[in-house]
Amino acid sequence: MTTKPNAATFLKNMQQGTAGEGAALKRPEAPTKAANEAPATAKPASVVRRSGLKHIGGYFDSETVERVALLRARLDLDNSELIKLAIDELFTKQKAARAFGN
C-alpha cells in the first residue's frame, strides 16, 4: 500500500534534487546575452493600443463560445473586431426597425 504524498514528502524530494540523495539544488545558469536578443528576422509584435478604450465582456455557454471561435476563424477577426462588427450590425438593424415603425 502506498502512502499519500504530503507537504513534508514534497519538501524532502525538492531538497534531494535529481542527482540523488542529499544533492543540492542547482541554480539555473544565467542566459547569455545572445539568448536574450530576438532574431534579426523576427517581426515586432503588433502593438495593441488600449488606452482610452472600454472593456466589454461576458460569460457564455460552450455553444456560444464555439460560434465565436468559428466566426473569428472564418472572418479572420479578433474578439474585439468581432464584437464591434456584431454591435454595429445590431445597431443598424435596430435603427432601421425604428425608421419603419417596428
pLDDT tens, 3-40? 666 777 777 776 765 555 444 555 656 666 555 565 66
- The answer to the question of residue 90 being in a domain is yes
Which residue intervals of the chain are DSSP H helices? 7-16, 33-36, 62-75, 79-99
Per-residue pLDDT averaged across 76-89, rounded? 94
Cell representation of residue 61:
455557454
- The answer to the question of residue 73 being in a domain is no
Q: Which domain holds residue 91?
A: 78-102
pLDDT at 47: 64
- The answer to the question of residue 94 being in a domain is yes
Per-residue pLDDT averaged across 66-83, rounded? 95
Provide, rounded to the nearest whole percent, the portion of the chain with pLDDT above 90: 38
Residues 6+ away with beta carbon under 8 Å from 15 = 25
- The answer to the question of residue 97 being in a domain is yes
- The answer to the question of residue 93 being in a domain is yes
Residue of higher predicted confidence among 44 and 73: 73
Is 23 within 8 Å of 17 (Cβ atoms)? Answer: yes
Query: For the chain, what is the domain count?
Result: 1
- The answer to the question of residue 99 being in a domain is yes
- The answer to the question of residue 62 being in a domain is no
- The answer to the question of residue 26 being in a domain is no
pLDDT at 72: 95
